[in-house]
């Protein structure tokens, strides 16, 4: 991540949620807060998208510049929302969002309003988020952490509460030891805690051209100083998590969650991004 700015990829995800919110019907995500994180040009584009002609034009531009990102990102957001609700329904008493970026779940999901939500991110991103949103609801707390210099053990979190962790769009930017350290931290929480996290198929790091949009995406994120560094072979994840007393419950690719949530839409999307859902045993 660039040292003195909030993540550009976090703004792209906010743009996708803002555009989806403007859809006249069949929206997968409703996020009235996302537009606050956009620069003026993206805000203008978002407001224009309410007009069908401009929406089609905007979608074509996005698909050309970051092919596959929009449909995969929106379907992923909806999928994680539903996994989060499953965890809440099963009795978790705290939500921790690691590398929160411009995540707005604490504000837009009604079922979180009675739970403490802790968002952890780099100081630069947290500062931008506070500036854009203003006063936070009482149930939301921001904790700042530079993952390159500090560990999660440096934070004051209540490890006695069954907790659901959301770790979205982060593991592919880290080294393996940082990832293992995070899972060791999650292991300290009670049985019945959950983790929802995204990762990329490691093949895209070796052969980006094998996937739709892979070559352009890896080139673009490297140019933003947000280079991808890590992935798993999907079939190896279950065994990997067992060492941290985590049982894999779901592990689906972008192909699968796009098919589930937007079967009638024709946008192509990434195939290499995945969402995993595991429970602490």
CATH assignment at residue 168: 3.40.50.150
What pLDDT score does 269 carry? 85
Tell me what pLDDT residue 9 has. 79
Q: Is the pLDDT of residue 6 over 60?
A: no
User: Are the beta carbons of 211 and 268 closer than 8 angstroms?
Assistant: no
55 domain-assigned? no
Chain mean position to CA 191: 24
Whether 4 has a pLDDT exceeding 70, the answer reads no
Please tell me the total count of domains within the chain.
1
Predicted confidence (pLDDT) per residue in 145-195, tens digit: 877 677 898 888 999 999 999 999 999 989 999 999 999 999 999 999 999
The predicted model scores a pTM of 0.93
pLDDT score recorded for residue 231: 96
Query: Does residue 184 lie in a domain region?
Result: yes
Residue 85 maps to a domain: yes
Residue 57 lies in a domain: no
* Residue 183 within a domain: yes
Residue 26 lies in a domain: no
Mean local confidence (pLDDT), 13-22: 96
Q: 31, 119, 136: which is closest to 77 by C-alpha? A: 31
Q: Determine the pLDDT at residue 49.
A: 95
Q: Is residue 24 part of a domain?
A: no
pLDDT in tens, 222-269: 776 678 999 999 999 999 999 999 999 999 999 999 999 999 888 888
pLDDT score of 11 more than 90? no
Q: Which domain holds residue 112?
A: 67-280
Number of residues written out for the chain: 281
Mean pLDDT across 55-61: 92
Q: Please give the structure tokens belonging to residue 36.
A: 């606050």
Residue 51 inside a domain? The answer is: no
| pLDDT tens by residue, 93-146 | 999 999 998 999 999 999 999 999 999 988 888 888 889 988 888 999 999 887
């Amino acid at each position: 991540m660039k040292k003195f700015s909030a993540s550009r990829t976090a703004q792209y995800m906010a743009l996708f949620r803002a555009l989806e919110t403007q859809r006249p019907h069949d929206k997968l995500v409703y996020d009235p807060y996302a537009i606050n994180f956009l620069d003026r040009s993206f805000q203008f584009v978002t407001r224009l998208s309410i007009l069908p002609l401009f929406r089609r034009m905007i979608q074509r531009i996005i698909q050309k510049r970051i092919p596959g990102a929009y449909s995969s990102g929106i379907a992923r957001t909806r999928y994680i929302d539903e996994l989060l609700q499953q965890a809440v329904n099963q009795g978790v008493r705290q939500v921790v969002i690691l590398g929160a970026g411009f995540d707005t779940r604490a504000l837009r999901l009604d079922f979180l309003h009675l739970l403490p939500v802790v968002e952890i991110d780099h100081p630069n991103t947290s500062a931008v988020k506070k500036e854009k949103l203003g006063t936070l609801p009482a149930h939301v707390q921001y904790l700042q952490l530079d993952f390159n210099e500090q560990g999660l053990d440096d934070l004051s979190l209540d490890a006695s509460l069954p907790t659901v962790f959301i770790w979205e769009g982060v593991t592919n930017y880290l080294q393996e030891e940082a990832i293992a350290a995070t899972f060791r931290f999650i292991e300290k929480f009670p049985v019945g805690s959950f983790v929802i996290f995204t990762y990329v198929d490691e093949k895209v790091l070796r052969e980006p051209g094998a996937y739709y949009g892979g070559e352009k995406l890896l080139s673009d994120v490297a140019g933003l100083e947000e280079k991808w560094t890590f992935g798993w072979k999907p079939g190896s994840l279950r065994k990997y998590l067992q060492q941290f007393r985590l049982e894999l419950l779901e592990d689906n690719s972008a192909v699968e969650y796009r098919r589930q949530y937007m079967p009638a839409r024709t946008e192509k999307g990434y195939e290499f991004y995945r969402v995993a859902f595991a429970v602490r045993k």
